[in-house]
């Protein structure tokens, strides 16, 4: 159990995460083939040692039997940005969609908000009930591959347009994979960030001026509970000269979660103090802070995450979202995204 200093609630981490949080050394062996790193300088050297490989990326790893070309990746980033900007300006869906188990309720809410205009076959690509089943995912993928989409069907997102406008079957299959991965990564990440922020704010979220410093709240949440809490790099050959613990056969796990708590970078590192970020023009240049990765390997959607999370929190405050349980303690399971779990209800 890890209490949040100055708050009347605590977070219980999965045992493997809790074990990491008790590590004092900055370079340590996790198992026979994995070395963990939380030293900021060594992490920067590891990221700079070689370009990130396509198989190490979550969104742009190979699909349909081929690598995702840079041009396709760039088009996807632009299309997603266009869809998010349009969504932020549009009225949000009914607030009752925020009630339920977080972060899942928030993820579904964001998908409805940003991608509700897409035809049913396409919208199924990112439905949680579909994505959790490999069999259903394959069925939906095949259906969308032969979907005779056309511009005449009406308004749809720019991401869906990439599927519709594909020139051949392989390009369409890659566009389908990019739609699923990009929408899921964005919505899951924003939902986790907003949920973590709500929990860390504790009773302060009831203050009349709670939304006055939401940007600072989100940056501090990214420090204490970064959704992207671990990054993997395969093949230790590129890193053996950087530290004696790393062997050629090893893979390396980089831990922003641990680096963000080092007292050499952060006074009172376990305290939730949004005021740390007041007046900070570019938080990503802060030493010992890696919320979205390093230069050359930064999150492709980093410019969308904080504004969208802030918009989501404002909707939650507008409808007086109440955390109903658990009130004093919540759990963080071992998942690819670090997110607290709680039940919430919005007033509609």
**pLDDT digits 0-9 by tens, 155-206:** 789 999 999 888 888 888 999 989 998 998 899 999 999 999 999 998 888 7
Kindly report the CA angle at 111 between 110 and 114, in degrees rounded to 5?
80
Q: What is the mean pLDDT of residues 92-104?
A: 94
Q: How far apart are CA 227 and CA 59, in angstroms?
A: 16
Q: What percent of the chain has pLDDT over 90?
A: 49
Q: Would you say residue 248 has pLDDT above 90? A: yes
Q: Return d(Cα 3, Cα 13) in angstroms, integer.
A: 11
Q: Which of 14-23, 239-248, 285-294 is least confident? A: 285-294
pLDDT for residue 2 is more than 50:
no
Q: Radius of gyration over alpha carbons of the chain, in Å?
A: 21
Q: What is residue 1's predicted lDDT score, i.e. its pLDDT?
A: 38
Q: Average pLDDT, stretch 286-298?
A: 76
Pick 297 or 160 by higher pLDDT. Answer: 160
Average pLDDT in the 51-69 region? Answer: 79
pLDDT at 204: 81
Spatial CB neighbours of 139, under 8 Å, sequence gap ≥ 6: none
* pLDDT digit string, tens, across residues 310-341: 999 999 999 999 888 655 577 888 888 889 99
Provide mean pLDDT across the span 274-283.
92
Q: In the predicted model, is pLDDT for residue 243 greater than 80?
A: yes
Round to whole Å and give the CA distance between 344 and 6.
23
Q: Is the pLDDT of residue 126 over 60?
A: yes
pLDDT of residue 300: 64
Tokens linked to 69: 């070309």
- At CA 259, angle to CA 39 and CA 181, rounded to 5? 110
Contacts (Cβ under 8 Å, ≥6 apart) of 4: 10, 11, 200, 202, 224, 270, 271, 272
Residue whose C-alpha is closest to residue 302's, from 158, 193, 157: 193
Q: Which helix (H) or strand (E) holds 101?
A: strand 100-102
pLDDT attached to residue 4:
47
Average pLDDT over residues 30-57: 88
Instruction: Tell how strand 251-254 and strand 231-233 pair up.
Output: antiparallel
Strand 2-3, strand 10-13: pairing: antiparallel
CA atoms of 321 and 169, how far apart (whole Å):
44
Distance CA 36, CA 257 (A): 12
User: 67, 54 in Cβ contact below 8 A?
Assistant: yes
Kindly tell me the burial class for residue 266, based on how many C-beta atoms sit within 10 Å of its own C-beta (0-12, 13-18, 19 or more): buried
Q: By percentage, how much of the chain surpasses pLDDT 70?
A: 92
Q: How many CB atoms sit inside 10 A of residue 293's CB?
A: 18
Question: What integer best gives the mean pLDDT of the chain?
Answer: 86
Q: How many CB atoms lie within 10 A of CB 249?
A: 11
Peptide bond into 326 cis (omega under 30): yes
Determine contact, residues 68/62, Cβ cutoff 8 Å. yes
Residue 6 pLDDT level (bands cut at 50, 70, 90)? very low
Cα(127)–Cα(112) distance, rounded to whole angstroms? 10
- By three-state DSSP, how is residue 263 classified? coil
pLDDT of residue 5: 42
129 touches 140 (CB < 8 A):
no
pLDDT bracket for residue 3 (50, 70, 90): very low
Helix axes of 214-224 and 302-318: crossing angle, nearest 10 degrees: 120
Between 225 and 210, where is the model more confident? Answer: 225
Catalogue the E-assigned strands of 165-296. Answer: 231-233, 251-254
């Amino acid at each position: 159990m890890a209490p949040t200093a100055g708050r009347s609630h605590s977070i219980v981490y999965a045992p493997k995460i809790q074990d990491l949080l008790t590590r004092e050394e900055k370079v340590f062996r996790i198992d026979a083939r994995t070395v963990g790193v939380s030293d900021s300088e060594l992490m920067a050297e590891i990221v700079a040692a070689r370009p990130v490989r396509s198989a190490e990326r979550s969104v742009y790893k190979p699909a349909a039997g081929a690598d995702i070309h840079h041009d396709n990746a760039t088009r996807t980033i632009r299309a997603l940005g266009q869809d998010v900007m349009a969504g932020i300006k549009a009225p949000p869906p009914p607030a009752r969609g925020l009630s339920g188990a977080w972060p899942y309720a928030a993820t579904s809410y964001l998908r409805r908000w940003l991608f509700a205009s897409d035809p049913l076959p396409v919208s199924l690509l990112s439905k949680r009930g579909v994505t959790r089943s490999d069999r259903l995912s394959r069925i939906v993928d095949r259906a969308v591959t032969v979907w005779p989409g056309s511009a005449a069907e009406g308004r749809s997102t720019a991401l869906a347009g990439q599927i519709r406008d594909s020139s051949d079957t392989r390009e369409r299959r890659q566009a389908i994979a990019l739609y699923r991965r990009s929408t899921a990564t964005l919505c899951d990440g924003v939902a986790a960030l907003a949920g973590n922020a709500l929990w860390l704010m504790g009773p302060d979220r009831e203050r009349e001026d709670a939304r006055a410093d939401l940007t600072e709240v989100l940056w501090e949440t990214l420090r204490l509970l970064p959704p992207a809490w671990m990054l993997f790099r395969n093949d230790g050959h590129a890193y053996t000269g950087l530290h004696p613990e790393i062997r050629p056969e090893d893979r390396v796990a980089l831990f922003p979660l641990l680096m963000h708590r080092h007292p050499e970078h952060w006074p009172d590192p376990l305290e939730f103090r949004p005021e740390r970020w007041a007046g900070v023009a570019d938080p990503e240049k802060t030493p010992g802070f890696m919320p979205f990765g390093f230069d050359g390997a930064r999150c492709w959607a980093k410019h969308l995450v904080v504004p969208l999370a802030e918009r989501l929190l404002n909707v939650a405050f507008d409808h007086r979202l109440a955390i109903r349980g658990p009130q004093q303690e919540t759990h963080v399971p071992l998942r690819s995204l670090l997110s607290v779990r709680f039940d919430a209800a919005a007033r509609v």
